[in-house]
Amino acid sequence: MLKLKKYNILRIHMSTSKQKSKKKDCSHHWTIEPPNGTMSMGSCKICGETREFRNSFEYSSWYGSKSPSDVANNQDKSK
């Protein structure tokens, strides 16, 4: 009976370490929630890892200028 308990503990440890190494070696395939605010949650279809993704960039290359908040921050720093 004692050997069985040790085996089960070892088996659980091995399965969790395989999951951790799978996340490190994963070529993520992200599914990202629709935009709702500045951030959206995404999860990997392969390993299940989750992280936040930005829905916009501070610099707008479309207009060739920075956002008004960046301009205000730069003016405050120069004072």
**Per-residue pLDDT tens for 41-51?**
999 999 999 99
What is the rounded CA–CA span in Å between residue 26 and residue 67? 35
Q: Name the pLDDT band for 1 (thresholds 50, 70, 90).
A: very low
**What is the Cα 35 distance to its own chain's centre?**
15
Residue type, 52: E
CA dihedral 64, 70, 74, 77 (to 10 degrees): -160
Mean pLDDT of the chain: 70
Whether residue 14 has pLDDT greater than 50: no
Domain boundaries, given as residue ranges, for the chain: 2-78
Judged by average pLDDT, the poorest of 32-36, 49-53, 55-59 is: 55-59
Amino acid at 4: L
- Amino acid (1-letter code) at residue 26: C
